[in-house]
Amino acid sequence: MSAAPTGPATLPPGTLDTLARGRELHLDHYGRRLPFALLGGTGLRQRYAELEGERAGAVFEALDASGGYASACLGAGHEVVRRALDRGTREAGYATDEIGSLERSALLTEVLGEGGLWTDHFPAGEYHASGRNSGSEGMELALRLALETRFDHRTLRPATGRGERDRILAFEGAWHGWTSGLVPFLNRRHYRLGLPVPDPSRPYGTTVDHLPFGDETALAGYLSQFGDRLLAVVVEPIQGDAGILTPPPGYLRSLAERTRRAGALLIADEVLTFAKSGRFFAMADDEGPVPTDITVIGKSIGMGAQSVSMVIARKELTVRGSGAVATSDLRPLGCAVIRDGLRHIVDEKLLEHSAALGEQFTAALREEAVAAFPELYREIRGRGVIQGLELTEAAAGRLVELREHIVRAGVMVEFMAGAGRRSAGLRYVFPTLRIAPPLITGPREAEEIVARIAEGSRAFLGRPE
């Protein structure tokens, strides 16, 4: 278990003033941010300060069950990450994507080369990769790779057999990023209203359609109608913002095969799920890896020290000359962090550990949250260290208050919006508490996380212990 951070129980007035001023200067993306500030931490244990009201200046400890938007897979201040940053800054140098890099080459060879770490999913010699700053940027590149197949790069005219493919399939409740190119993939009015959308009536215009996630009947019907016009399918193997929704057994493999038969491209958004489902990639089932044309990974790939994503695509998928150059394309320093972090995950068997940890979380949360607080929690679902505790309708209306009680009880958690209203008779999905702690979480820390969620839930309801 990580050592608890030490520090004063109350902030000096000057420090509290600095936090207050900084908060005012930082753009608020939420409308109402949490009334806490991070002071520091090690491993899973973080120190926070209260910023508002009578508690302002009070310092408390909380276990991190959020992973910083599910990105800090090795927790805070991990020795492997510190050494990688030191090695990268001292030895790796800096280079753009225009020239080779020894550190970049070593990383890509180790994961995608002959006998590489990921060649069960991406056979050696069949895929290449590119890096970006964020998951959203990675998904933008994936979309660009799909769109570029519709025309001849030399003549810049429609490609034979591809130019007429003008539909892209996404899924209800999906989350793929904020950028303008990705907003059409979100079927929620709140995020799309007032923003530009592709015009399907113009040359190379596209239409984005949405189906209920996991519904084979709806998928078959859609492909029978639009299969010959389908350019790409974009899917999360486990839907994140929709509420940690897992597909029915066999669905992802069927989706891949149907997409292939339709002549379309399958894009897997594994920005959230990478290294969290008990294996590196969640695009898999009992038969093994599910094939994809493009896979985007992010969050955990940066080991909590950097915001980075990687796009892994079949080699025949590319872009026009200099059409997707990026300052951040697998810079040597970032490659050093990724490379050393992946080695540590494998050497310490952290994926296997997270699979067992997921079973522990599921069982404990079913008993100590869903069964103990039926007025608050409806269901627990997920795999590995990506678990979702769905709220009831009544609790969803007081989500902010509930979250603050849980944080004050000593565990930092995040909430997903939930898929909301879905078609095909599927039930409404309410906001969902996401438990996505670092891979280094131990069984005792998992017990403590569950116990503190229960403690915060009791406090919210005003129940005595």
What pLDDT score does 8 carry?
Answer: 63
At 267, give phi and psi (nearest 5°): -110, 120
Provide the CA 283 distance to its chain's centre, in angstroms.
14
Contact 436, 386 (CB under 8 A): yes
Nearest CA among 17, 77, 81, 85 for reference residue 47: 77
What pLDDT score does 196 carry?
Answer: 81
Q: Which domain holds residue 59?
A: 13-78+350-461
Least confident span in 263-272, 336-345, 456-465: 456-465
pLDDT of residue 437 exceeding 60: yes
pLDDT of residue 3 exceeding 70: no
Half-sphere exposure of 51 (CA within 13 A, CB side): 18
In a domain, residue 5? The reply is: no
Q: Kindly give, in sequence order, each residue whose CB lies less than 8 Å from that of residue 416, ignoring residues fewer than 6 positions away.
A: 240, 241, 242, 243, 244, 388, 431, 432, 433, 434
d(CA 263, CA 269): 19
* Helix 79-87 with 332-347: angle, nearest 10 deg: 150
Q: Say yes or no: 98 and 246 in one domain.
A: yes
Q: Say yes or no: 155 and 218 in one domain.
A: yes
pTM over 0.85: yes
Q: What is the DSSP string of 335-366?
A: HHHHHHHHHHHHHTTHHHHHHHHHHHHHHHHI
In a domain, residue 6? The reply is: no
Contact 304, 72 (CB under 8 A): yes
Q: Say yes or no: 317 and 424 in one domain.
A: no
267-281 pLDDT, tens digit each: 999 999 999 999 999
Nearest CA among 99, 184, 171 for reference residue 140: 184
For residue 223, give both structure tokens: 């492909």
What pLDDT score does 151 carry?
Answer: 85
For residue 113, give both structure tokens: 């080369």
Least confident span in 42-51, 144-153, 214-223: 144-153
Q: What is the mean pLDDT of residues 454-460?
A: 98
Q: Say yes or no: 58 and 90 in one domain.
A: no
What pLDDT score does 104 carry?
Answer: 97
Confidence of residue 348 (pLDDT cuts 50, 70, 90): very high
At 316, give phi and psi (nearest 5°): -75, -10
Contact 246, 238 (CB under 8 A): yes
Q: Say yes or no: 268 and 177 in one domain.
A: yes
In a domain, residue 4? The reply is: no
What pLDDT score does 4 carry?
Answer: 46
227-236 pLDDT, tens digit each: 999 999 999 9
Q: What is the mean pLDDT of residues 208-223?
A: 97
Which of 323, 347, 371 marks a domain boundary?
347
> Three-state SS for 315?
coil
For residue 369, give both structure tokens: 């949250």
d(CA 147, CA 141): 10
Confidence of residue 76 (pLDDT cuts 50, 70, 90): very high
Angle at the Cα of 151 (from 150 to 155), degrees rounded to 5?
175
- Distance between first and last Cα of the chain: 25
Percent of the chain surpassing pLDDT 70: 98
Q: Say yes or no: 223 and 306 in one domain.
A: yes
In a domain, residue 2? The reply is: no
Which of 290, 321, 347 marks a domain boundary?
347
In a domain, residue 44? The reply is: yes
What pLDDT score does 6 carry?
Answer: 55
- Look at the chain and report how many structural domains it folds into: 2
Q: Are strands 265-270 and 45-50 parallel, antiparallel or unpaired?
A: unpaired
Half-sphere exposure of 363 (CA within 13 A, CB side): 9
Contact 74, 304 (CB under 8 A): yes
Higher pLDDT among residues 162 and 3, named by residue: 162
d(CA 428, CA 119): 38
Q: Say yes or no: 94 and 70 in one domain.
A: no
d(CA 23, CA 19): 6
What pLDDT score does 198 carry?
Answer: 80
CATH number for position 413: 3.90.1150.10
Q: Say yes or no: 181 and 74 in one domain.
A: no
CATH number for position 138: 3.40.640.10
Nearest CA among 346, 308, 362, 363 for reference residue 439: 346
Contact 35, 52 (CB under 8 A): yes
> What is the longest distance spanned by two Cα atoms in the chain?
73
Q: What is the mean pLDDT of residues 371-396?
A: 98
pLDDT of residue 1 exceeding 80: no
Q: Say yes or no: 230 and 122 in one domain.
A: yes
For residue 372, give both structure tokens: 């103990």
10-68 pLDDT, tens digit each: 999 899 999 999 999 999 988 889 999 999 999 999 999 999 999 999 999 999 999 99
What pLDDT score does 7 carry?
Answer: 59
Q: What is the mean pLDDT of residues 281-297?
A: 98
d(CA 231, CA 167): 6
Q: Say yes or no: 295 and 401 in one domain.
A: no
Percent of the chain surpassing pLDDT 90: 86
Q: Say yes or no: 337 and 380 in one domain.
A: no
Least confident span in 92-106, 186-200, 428-442: 186-200
Which of 314, 347, 380 marks a domain boundary?
347
Q: Tell me the pLDDT of the chain averaged across its residues.
A: 94
Specify the length of the chain in residues. Answer: 465
Residue with tokens 């069960």, as numbered in its chain: 120
Q: Say yes or no: 356 and 339 in one domain.
A: no
In a domain, residue 382? The reply is: yes
What pLDDT score does 28 carry?
Answer: 93
For residue 213, give both structure tokens: 């996630």
In a domain, residue 7? The reply is: no
Contact 216, 251 (CB under 8 A): yes
d(CA 134, CA 71): 11
Nearest CA among 357, 407, 348, 404 for reference residue 383: 357
| H or E stretch covering 387 | strand 386-391
In a domain, residue 343? The reply is: yes
